[in-house]
Amino acid sequence: MRAELDTRDLGLVAYPEAMALQDALVEQRVRNEIGDTLLLLEHPPVVTLGRRGSLSDVYVSEADLARRGIGVQHTTRGGLVTYHGPGQLVGYPIVHLRQRGLTVPCYVRALELAIVDSLAEIGIAARLDPNHIGVWTQDHGKIAAIGVAQRHGVTLHGFAINLQPDLSHFDLINPCGIGNLGVTSAARLLGHPVDMPRFKGRITAALDEQLTAVACR
């Protein structure tokens, strides 16, 4: 039986507010008060540091970031340092892995494949990299980042797809510790902005499909 995602389109949400909402939803999901849920949103400009993140991967001071209108947040997701901002579609799936019989690596693969499928629908040939988590383009670098966590078998955090963010903000950090590999966006590759509402529909359908079909349980 297909387990469809309850998708909530939240618009622009401050990072701490999104974290608080995820925390509350995870507790509800653990108690089976809600079903699997996907939060789709954008963040105001913010640099986030994962559990292994360090300010050594941020090339300017917090004061300089503040002058540019960019916040700094420590977070509980896996990974190092990344950037979120308007034009980047962020997805936070609250998914009960144990009930779906998924391991964390299989879940991450489902996220990656859903993003690849969604980008293919708008004409972007994206791919996976066996050495690095996330979604990549052939010659232009990373187009989507993934950083997850789980509590009692329920996921939080998730993915960030560069549809049309200000890519210059990535120059202020060493994203995911591999900034030398490059960062790109759908708008840069296509030469025009992406219809974000339509893309949200695509990623929702693709993720629901991949979470059901992923073969590496």
Domain annotation covers residue 108? yes
What are the tens digits of pLDDT across the range 107-156?
999 999 999 999 999 999 999 998 899 999 988 899 999 999 999 999 99
Q: Domain for residue 101, yes or no?
A: yes
Residue 176: inside a domain? yes
Count Cα atoms within 13 angstroms, Cβ side, for 85.
18
70 within some domain: yes
The pLDDT-based confidence of 1 (bands split at 50, 70, 90) is very low
Of the candidates 52, 50, 70, 57, the one whose C-alpha atom is nearest the C-alpha of residue 157 is 50
The reported pLDDT for the residue numbered 75 is 85
Number of domains making up the chain: 1
Lowest mean pLDDT among 58-62, 79-83, 206-210: 79-83
pLDDT over threshold 90, residue 103: yes
**Average of per-residue pLDDT values in the chain:** 92
Sequence-distant (≥ 6) Cβ neighbours of residue 71 within 8 angstroms: 15, 44, 45, 46, 47, 65
* Whether 22 contacts 93, CB under 8 Å: no
Has residue 1 been placed in a domain? no
Between 177 and 157, the higher pLDDT residue: 157
d(CA 83, CA 46): 6
Q: Give the pair of three-digit tokens for residue 123.
A: 């004409």
pLDDT reported for residue 51: 76
In a domain, 127, yes or no: yes
Q: Which domain holds residue 155?
A: 6-213
Q: Is residue 65 part of a domain?
A: yes
User: Which residues are identified as catalytic?
Assistant: 176
Mean pLDDT value across residues 27-32: 97
pLDDT for position 50: 80
Contacts of 214 (CB under 8 A, 6+ apart): 102, 106, 107, 109, 110, 113
CATH code, 176:
3.30.930.10
**Position 114 in a domain:** yes
**Residue 217 pLDDT more than 60?**
no
Average pLDDT over residues 52-72: 88
